[in-house]
């Protein structure tokens, strides 16, 4: 008989797409469960009242009771007798009842959970940050106010975009079993599922199996989880010869001991095979989601298949289909479904301790095989040093060099020879794009990894847009922090969804134009660059941003010329000569006796 332990957990309840509410759950030696939570006193016309505390047995009468077992649990401590810890948690939580106004993004249920755990001498939860179950108001949240404009798309609802070398592709395939006998159903990447198909510690935004069907899986490392695509049956399964499988059915054939064209109880692996029924569609194995084949009602799975050209309404390609036999003797279908994936939109899967000092530095979300900047700086002290140098000197020629070093170091391409990808592009530029997109570049003409001249120009433009995005993300949290602090993330009173409020920022721009035209232009330029990968904010970007080049003068006599696009030229002080040339240009002379030529 296994030993029974007590447990204190933090439970994450989804409030809306992108963010979570935390509460604390205690299980005693007898299996009795008790919970404590914080929440708003009421919600009337966007007003929340005081923060109130609820405590009681964990059953259907408790406000946050998880009837369907779909909330994520993070164990804080497990042991023989945790009653003293639990009493201290309750003591602190109950003392906060009605003491503060409830703020849904700053001081809320998540805040009091963390305060109570600290008071009890327990560790803080580690899964409440941007890359896991973002719980605004938590003590582990990034140390900045306001929240950055470049948050992950799943939180801000701004769409999922990044540097891209190709359109979304059907690159990762697992075999799906039709469990409910109504055909194989899938989800699109837009449903927000992430899974590490290619076993590189980054979970990609991916199409996924519908909640009523199941993935055929094999827990190869025996850890009780399905960690990556190597434990599914698809093109990421590694065969005994060390090569990846062409498709999932080829991987099944290797396990058919008696070569009868099917896997069943006569094959040694049958008792180890499982069907993963991801009932809450979170891309993680939760309690009771791994079923034996018998529990799933499956008696055999054919290793043979037919090719198919069917692509479902979610963009997932059912390229190979096969047969299964249910335990009642009837037959059904399986399919190797090649999921539509967004390889530039990823989560880094490994646990990393991000210090309070790093959380106080600028945050930039991750792309592709680049983890978010906070994690990257935690793993790379050289990168952190360069970021700190840039913050101390964010303008001028030295700043531009530091910015490029940040990008190269973050993407891990610093030591790549600049001429190693042909004669038309700096190889480091291309390697950055490959890392940020999660894709390897090949030109369509001859399949080479070296771009030809025309393609190289397009790739250089893509790199410079990415560089401008990084620059804007850093400057908006440092030198121009006060300007961008006027952009607020708010919760919609009707739906609970998150939305950006630009009204104060827009009013600030109107005032700024009258008193400091140079800063006005620079803020609008940075705003435009920072929304490069936020497609749902395209209209705001067009109205409040500046798409063209902004050329800024100094206090001395300056002379500069537009770059042929829609440029903005500002002379500053001194007697300046400004020439717009081609494009729809806007020239501001500033102070001094200036010469303007549009």
Q: Say what the pLDDT of residue 271 is.
A: 97
Domain ranges of the chain: 6-141, 173-346, 352-533, 548-598
Q: Say what the pLDDT of residue 334 is.
A: 98
Single out the residue of 257, 255, 334, 267 nearest to residue 296, CA to CA: 334
Give the sheet arrangement for strand 51-57, strand by strand: 51-57, 33-40, 19-27, 6-16, 72-79
List the chain residues with pLDDT less than 50: 1, 167-168
DSSP for 61-110 reads TSTT--TTS-SEEEEEEEES--HHHHHHHHHHHHHTTTSSB-BTTTBSHH
The number of residues making up the chain comes to: 598
Other beta carbons within 10 Å of 307: 9
Q: Say what the pLDDT of residue 306 is.
A: 98
DSSP for 346-406 reads EEE-S-----HHHHTS-----BTTB--HHHHHHH-HHHHHHHHHHHHS-SSHHHHHHHHHH
Alpha carbon 475 to its chain centroid, in Å, reads 22
Q: Say what the pLDDT of residue 345 is.
A: 86
Single out the residue of 235, 162, 172 nearest to residue 206, CA to CA: 172
| 336-363: burial string, b at 16+ Cβ within 10 Å, e else | bbbbbbbbbbbbbbeebebeeebbebbb
Q: Say what the pLDDT of residue 174 is.
A: 97
pTM listed for this prediction:
0.81
Write phi, then psi, for 64 (nearest 5 degrees): -100, 15
Report how far residue 323's alpha carbon sits from residue 317's, in angstroms, rounded to the nearest whole number: 17
Sign of CA dihedral 251, 253, 258, 260: positive
521 Cβ partners below 8 Å, 6+ apart? 546, 550, 552, 568, 570, 588
Q: Say what the pLDDT of residue 499 is.
A: 81
Q: Say what the pLDDT of residue 101 is.
A: 92
Report how far residue 293's alpha carbon sits from residue 326's, in angstroms, rounded to the nearest whole number: 9
């Amino acid at each position: 008989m296994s030993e029974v332990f007590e447990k204190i957990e933090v439970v994450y309840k989804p409030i809306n797409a992108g963010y979570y509410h935390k509460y604390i759950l205690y299980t005693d030696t007898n299996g009795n469960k008790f919970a404590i939570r914080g929440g708003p006193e009421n919600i009337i016309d966007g007003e929340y009242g005081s923060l109130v505390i609820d405590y009681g047995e964990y059953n259907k009468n408790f406000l946050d009771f998880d009837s369907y077992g779909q909330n994520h649990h993070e164990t804080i401590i497990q042991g023989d007798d945790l009653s003293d810890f639990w009493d201290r948690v309750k003591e602190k939580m109950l003392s906060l009842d009605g003491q503060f106004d409830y703020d849904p993004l700053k001081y809320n249920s998540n805040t009091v959970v963390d305060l109570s755990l600290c008071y009890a001498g327990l560790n803080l939860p580690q899964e409440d940050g941007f890359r896991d179950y973002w719980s605004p108001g938590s003590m582990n949240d990034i140390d900045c106010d306001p929240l950055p404009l470049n948050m992950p798309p799943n939180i801000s609802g701004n769409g999922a975009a990044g540097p891209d070398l190709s359109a979304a592709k059907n690159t990762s395939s697992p075999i799906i079993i039709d469990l409910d006998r109504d055909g194989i159903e899938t989800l699109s990447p837009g449903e927000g599922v992430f899974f590490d198909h290619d076993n590189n510690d980054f979970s990609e935004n991916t199409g996924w199996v519908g909640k009523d069907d199941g993935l055929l899986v094999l827990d190869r490392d025996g850890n009780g989880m399905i960690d990556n695509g190597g434990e599914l049956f698809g093109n990421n399964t590694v065969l005994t010869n060390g090569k990846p499988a062409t498709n999932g059915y080829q991987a099944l054939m290797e396990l058919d001991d008696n070569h009868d064209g099917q896997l069943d109880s006569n094959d040694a692996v049958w008792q180890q095979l499982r069907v993963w029924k991801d009932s809450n569609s979170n891309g993680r194995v939760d309690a009771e989601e791994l079923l034996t084949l018998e529990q799933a009602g499956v008696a055999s799975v054919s290793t043979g298949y037919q090719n198919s050209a069917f692509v479902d309404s979610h963009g997932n390609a059912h390229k190979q289909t096969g047969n299964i036999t249910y335990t009642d003797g009837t037959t059904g279908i399986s399919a190797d479904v090649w999921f539509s994936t967004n390889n530039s939109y990823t989560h880094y899967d490994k646990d990393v301790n991000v210090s309070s000092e790093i959380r106080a530095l600028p945050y930039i979300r991750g792309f592709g095989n680049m983890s978010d900047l906070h994690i990257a700086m935690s793993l790379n002290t050289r990168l952190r040093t360069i970021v700190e140098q840039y913050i101390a000197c964010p303008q001028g020629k030295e700043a531009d060099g530091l910015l490029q070093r940040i990008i190269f170091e973050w993407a891990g391409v610093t030591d790549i020879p600049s001429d190693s990808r042909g004669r038309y592009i700096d190889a480091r530029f291309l390697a950055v794009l490959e890392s940020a997109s999660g894709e390897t570049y090949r030109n369509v003409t001859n399949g080479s990894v070296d771009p030809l001249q025309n393609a190289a120009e397009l790739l250089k433009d893509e790199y410079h847009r990415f560089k401008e995005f990084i620059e804007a993300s850093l400057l908006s949290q440092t030198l121009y922090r006060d300007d961008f602090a006027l952009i607020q993330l708010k919760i919609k009173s009707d739906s609970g969804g998150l939305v950006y409020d630009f009204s104060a920022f827009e009013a600030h721009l109107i005032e700024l134009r009258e008193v400091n035209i140079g800063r006005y232009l620079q803020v609008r330029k940075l705003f435009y660059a920072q929304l490069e990968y936020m497609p749902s904010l395209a209209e705001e970007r067009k109205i409040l941003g500046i798409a063209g080049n902004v050329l800024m003068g100094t206090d001395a006599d300056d002379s500069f010329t537009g770059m042929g696009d829609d440029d903005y030229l500002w002379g500053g002080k001194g007697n300046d000569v400004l020439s717009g040339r081609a494009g729809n240009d806007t020239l501001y002379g500033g102070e001094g006796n200036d010469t303007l030529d549009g």
